Structure 1
Amino acid sequence: MKNFTSKALEAAEMFLIRRGFEIIERTWETEGDGGLVDIVAEDGGAVVFVSVKSREASDKGFPESTASREELERFAIDWFSQSPEQCEECIFRFDTIALILVSPDRAIIRHHINAMAPGCDIDSEEE
């Protein structure tokens, strides 16, 4: 499972790089409660906290984020408090990447940009 998760994170990272994102950190862990942000990236001057959810090909469809709004906001607060040099007055957002592995070297990726924007319900489940 660890190998699958690592490959999924690598695929998500390459996907973002190909779209012009600069990866700042990978698998950044908050202090204290052990929360984890899969990828911290920069996109057009914005700091982007990316949650990656993956599964092997199945009839269940794309995996969706299970992080709550409060958890994501806590990640941002912790990261900015530990990385103040990254920006003083920058924009930040939360993206999610849902990935289905369809073969050992191929995946289908769904990128939700600004997943916490008004009208986006990241807490909903589709299953």
Structure 2
Amino acid sequence: MSIDWGATLLDPLYASLGVPANLAVPTLTAIVPVTAIDQTQGIEISQGKLGLQTIKPVCSLRMRELAANGLVPANLVTGTISLRPGTPDQADWRIESHQPKPNPSGETAGEVQLILVKA
């Protein structure tokens, strides 16, 4: 029996903590609406070969949602993401880099963390 970790774990998480977001990707002319987990208050990220820790603003996206829109994380770098678009809490960010956040079913079934810089 195989467990669908996306449906079991990520779907409820994104339903309760997710915020609407718009991706503007350099390779596309259209804006792509997605659901993101806002962690722009900053989380610890390992950097470089020495694994130095630094605090960076990030947001997480489901790999399944990106794939459904024909996107891969590498295409998002230098793009922008707007969290809570059209609201007073809207925040616009430039995507600096990304790192995978796999789940037990693998990388493509998990999430990607986008490392952000204020736009």
TM-score range for the pair, normalised by the shorter chain length: 0.3 to 0.5
User: Which is strand-richer, 1 or 2?
Assistant: 2
TM-score (norm 1): 0.34
Calculate the TM-score normalised by the size of structure 2.
0.35
